[in-house]
Amino acid sequence: MGIRLITGGVRSGKSRFAESLCMESGKPVVYVATSQVSDDEMKARVLAHQQRRPSGWLVKEEAFNLAAVLADVPCGSQLLLDSLTAWVTNVLAKPPHDEGGDPVIWRAQMLAQVESHTHEWLRQWSGRDAVIVTDEVGLGGIAMHPVSRCFQDALGWVNQEVAKQADEVWMVVAGVPWRVKG
């Protein structure tokens, strides 16, 4: 199986499709949740995901340090990471090294931080079965705000790096999975 990347738009059915792939694997599933609950609407989204998941899945919540949590995933299990989008958001939301300084330096520091962390946790996945959920940011326009553009660039780069290593890439459109690679 290897790495399977599931991408698509917001509310396209990515998570449901990813969960179905994990259920079909027949392996014990370790679900890595990256979302942080910051308001009632996000709490409701997380609750919907929790209620849909089989009770036998091991759940690990980690908003930042994916390498550490992935190092603890038992061999022979199916990893489900949901989602890279939330993870990139969390990393970018941490205070930058040059907070309040030059926005160009801030952007470079943030993108370097995302790149460093991504390479670190991707090394952990060598030889493991993983289903990874992310949002596709390459179909819309360029954002107007510098922080939003940094997010688009960071997530787009992460998606490309994961897709390079993935054995399969799927895009979900209106609940319909479409195999792009593999």
d(CA 56, CA 23): 11
Among the options 49, 97, 119, 145, which is catalytic?
49
Check residue 34 and give its pLDDT: 95
CATH at residue 111: 3.40.50.300
Domain that holds residue 121: 3-181
Any residues with CB less than 8 A from the CB of 179 and at least 6 apart, and which?
A: 168, 169, 170
Number of helical H runs and strand E runs in the chain: 6, 7
pLDDT value, residue 99: 58
User: What confidence tier does 1 reach under pLDDT thresholds 50, 70, 90?
Assistant: confident
Tell me the backbone φ, ψ of residue 133, rounded to 5 degrees: -105, 135
Paired with 59 in beta bridges are 31
pTM for the complete prediction? 0.92
Q: Determine whether 49 is an active site residue.
A: yes
- The span from the CA of 107 to the CA of 149, in Å, is 10
Give the pLDDT confidence of 44-90 residue by residue, as tens digits: 888 888 888 899 999 999 999 998 887 778 889 999 999 999 999 99
DSSP per residue, 24-63: HH-S-EEEEE-----SHHHHHHHHHHHHHS-TTSEEEE-S
CA distance 155 to 72: 25
Strand partners, 78: 29, 129
For residue 82, the Cα-to-chain-centroid distance in whole angstroms is 5
For 54, counting Cβ atoms within 10 Å of its Cβ (0-12 exposed, 13-18 middle, 19+ buried), the class is exposed
Pairing of strands 176-181, 168-173: antiparallel
Express each pLDDT in 133-175 by its tens digit.
999 998 888 888 888 899 999 999 999 999 999 999 999 999 9
Q: Count of domains in the chain?
A: 1
d(CA 81, CA 148): 23
